Amino acid sequence: MAPKNANNDLPPIGFCIVLLLGSKYAQNLRQDASGLTLITARKIKPTSVKLVQIHEFQEMMKRLYFKRDSERGIDGTYNWLVDEVAELGEELKGNDKEATEKEFADVIAWLASLANIMGIDLEKATLTKYNDKCPKCQGSPCQCTF
């Protein structure tokens, strides 16, 4: 499946290149009316790149685990997610960064699994709520006083 362009700011090809380069700057390929490919340099917000990767990660998790996740169900998958969050909490007490990274990965993986069986698009959900500004104060960066 082609990467989804959540904010319609760029065509999917632009995002493919961004992902390949791993940079916030990328060549943006477009076709003009004659069909010729135009190449323009364009600054792309890093947050947009990360959001596309969320969508692709969720799709990958669906390919890998959807059948098993569906059979386990919402409650069972939620319980796995909670266990993984607890394991992350344990790792945070130590100094093993590599082990901590793996726990972050597990939390994201189980969150994606839960979203898949709920039919929730994590990219859409996150972009809708956190659309380049704080949903509470509308600031970027957030100006909330906690």
Binding interface with Zn ion (CB under 5 A)? 134, 136-137, 142, 144
Alpha helices in the chain (DSSP H): 12-21, 46-92, 97-118, 122-129
- A 10 A CB-CB count for 12 gives 13
d(CA 146, CA 139): 14
CB-nearest residue to Zn ion: 134
Min dist. Cβ of residue 104 to Zn ion (A)? 24
Nearer to Zn ion, 86 or 137 (CB): 137
Residue 114 · residue 66 · CB < 8 Å: no
Nearer to Zn ion, 82 or 137 (CB): 137
Beta bridge partners of 28: 40
Decide: helix, strand or coil at residue 122. helix
Nearer to Zn ion, 25 or 130 (CB): 130
Min dist. Cβ of residue 138 to Zn ion (A)? 7
Min dist. Cβ of residue 127 to Zn ion (A)? 17
d(CA 106, CA 46): 23
Min dist. Cβ of residue 47 to Zn ion (A)? 16
Nearer to Zn ion, 33 or 144 (CB): 144
